[in-house]
Structure 1
């Protein structure tokens, strides 16, 4: 079994080492970790690790506070150590290209482990490079699959914009360029067109068409900087570098055909992603407000959602009402039920009663909606968290 695993890893390493485009692309994916560290510094990573009372655990890792308590003595050195390792391995990948696979593997392992510590480390800007890196590390036909995923991700993102919330410009209304809100629908529709056309142009045989598609997508992310900041455009620049290296290397074959060999597992992962995208698309209104429904799909709903949340602690002869605290949450998470449930879990854990009864209610609406919808409505939320 061990020998089979070693041979498989060796074959994956060899595929990268034999392809200059894959070597450069893998180095670009290492650079993703550099930008991640800068972003986490800005996101106050250290305090998120140290603040055990306000942990927001992923639904699949509800004991994240235990892991955070173990790492809390090291909270001040985690990012500096991660940063130093990233710079070291990035430089080493140029001097010794044969190290690029292991460098990317260990950096990805570290990032996944740190991301699992708190739900606040979620986002497309992490999800997308995670998926691409998975295929570069562990599946053959890396260029074909990576390019196919780039196409899929842009088309998937565009499909989630086919609703009035996006087309009306409401998703962008939390920040208005030049104080001219009439520009928002035009910008929103233009962004949708650029994503669809840019992704399709990447598969044209004509190199000029592919260059045009590449620069269209770069322009899209350059404009998005106004709303999302530096991190997302930088991450997508690293991901799109595959297209740049492939077109520039005129001797390289155009990676647009997927062969049948070793197709089942990576194909099943791709199909599962598409299914989750279809679910999110078919239920766009609730999926845009319900974090549970978009865990395995792209999160393209950054509208200024409005919500009302309330916890009612029932006591023997009275009750205590506690409002949902979401003032400091980012736009995408203002009404996220995963944050709401994290607060519910803490209220239940802090209760002096051995069998607390807490009712929880969360209603929300998007900017373009005329009414609120129920996201959470439970009379005894604490029963959800009992082992």
Structure 2
């Protein structure tokens, strides 16, 4: 019922923001993969709340417990279950909206669909669920590492502050060197200052996370409905607050003529390459070996510390205002989430591709 993702490398997440725990079951991971628990924990720490002044101050250690599917540090080929206990819930911060619908949240739609809802932090609709995805994505990254696949996401825009440099001119190893996760140090300071200003004004702002995948094997992707870019798009659009996805030349490509946009082929040391990469590493829905690159747009966080007009469950006009601890901008913490979802798609297609050949 919408809680699972993938076909061969398949995950199912569970839990709510203010429940006892959240978690994930990873099924389809091949046996014999070295499960680096320190790496999984490091990935979770990149996403966890309370990292800096520009993120929510909820304090969660996000310590992962691996309950099954491993033996002596390696995967056994059976389902890997991971649990992350909630420790710093403040459910009383949400009592004022127990019967009211917050603008641009899932309150109304969950109530309409299920006839009840967990109003504490949004319950299942909370972005807290993404911690489970990051844990699963870390295992996918460990699998992809065996094939030399590298995934690097970074913040390329906050509000109107935009990083215009192409990724080829950036040192992506510097992404985590600052709290906003932008690899351009000077622009990162501008972004941090702007987010902090927005926070002090009790408001929020959106942004863009860009992602680059290097060393993708040729041939990943299935015609016609399971094209690689289609699955990447679904993966990104399933992340909380995402409003847009584009890969390769994206919307800007419409301004080019076919003679300008086509990626001409050539060979180099026996390998087929393209002179340009407007296709974003994917042609006909199948990877061609060039870099895959895409952008993910995140809206401003819906919870703001200002009064807003709304209605309650009885349809009566009410005024609601955000309380508690929330991100003024989600993109710094979204970087590892984007990487995780990308890794899950690629791991799934990698294993699926092996099933298609004798």
Same fold (TM over 0.5): no
For this structure pair, what is the TM-score category when the shorter chain's length is used for normalisation?
under 0.3
Give the TM-score, by structure 1 length: 0.23
Give the TM-score, by structure 2 length: 0.24
Structure 1 or 2: more helix by fraction: 1
The higher radius of gyration belongs to: 1
Structure 1 or 2: more strand by fraction: 2
